[in-house]
Amino acid sequence: MAVTLQFLACLVVAICLLSVVSTTQHHAGQPMDSTSVGGGLQEPEAPEVMFELLWAGLELDVMGQLHIQDEELASTHPGRRLRLLLQHHVPSDLEGAEQRLQQLQDLRKGPPLSTWDFEHLLLTALSCIYRLHAASEAEERGRWAQVFTLLAQETLWDLCKGFCPQDQPPSLGPWASVLDPFP
């Protein structure tokens, strides 16, 4: 029960953060057309649409792919777009998630992430929650939890750019002390 509540709380946080990115303006010099994301994907969905899609729930299949549980929502244009993002732009294994994390950490000193990069950051973090929940071994769960925590930290870093004191990372509070830093 506690795991389910924690999972829902994390999902709500991810959705709220996704709402923030969906309503912010695009950063200059970064294209937002479908060519930058890979055929057919357009601007991020409105926050209420993404909320509805994610609220319907995702499921992790045996092949490690996330799918929208509600078939009717999955068949809509936003549902198909989310499916493409989950299948082609969100890492489906630990190595891919760790690689994405490293890429984001390398961008920490630069300008805020583009809308696309921020959306992918949030969806990768959400994917980590599902994969952590499905992991059978303690070591694997620990690694997924560690990657999720560090992705949450990167989310705070990006949201804090231009607002937080220089070189002062935002804190995850008690979460930060749960895990050792990722190598």
The pLDDT of 75-93, averaged and rounded, is: 90
Specify the residue for token string 């969806």.
123
- Whether the CB-CB separation of 183 and 150 falls below 8 Å is answered with no
Q: How far apart are CA 18 and CA 12, in angstroms?
A: 10
The pLDDT value given to residue 172: 65
Other residues' Cβ atoms within 10 Å of the Cβ of residue 132: 20
Residues 12-62: tens digit of each pLDDT = 455 454 444 444 443 433 433 333 444 445 566 677 888 888 888 888 888
Which of 2-6, 39-43, 67-71 has the weakest average pLDDT? 2-6
Other residues' Cβ atoms within 10 Å of the Cβ of residue 130: 19
- Whether the CB-CB separation of 61 and 71 falls below 8 Å is answered with no
pLDDT at 1 over 90: no
The pLDDT value given to residue 175: 56
End-to-end alpha-carbon separation of the chain, Å? Answer: 32
Residues 125-181: tens digit of each pLDDT = 999 999 998 998 999 999 999 999 999 889 888 888 877 776 666 666 665 555 444
Query: Going by C-beta distance under 8 Å and a sequence separation of 6 or more, which residues neighbour residue 70?
Result: 56, 57
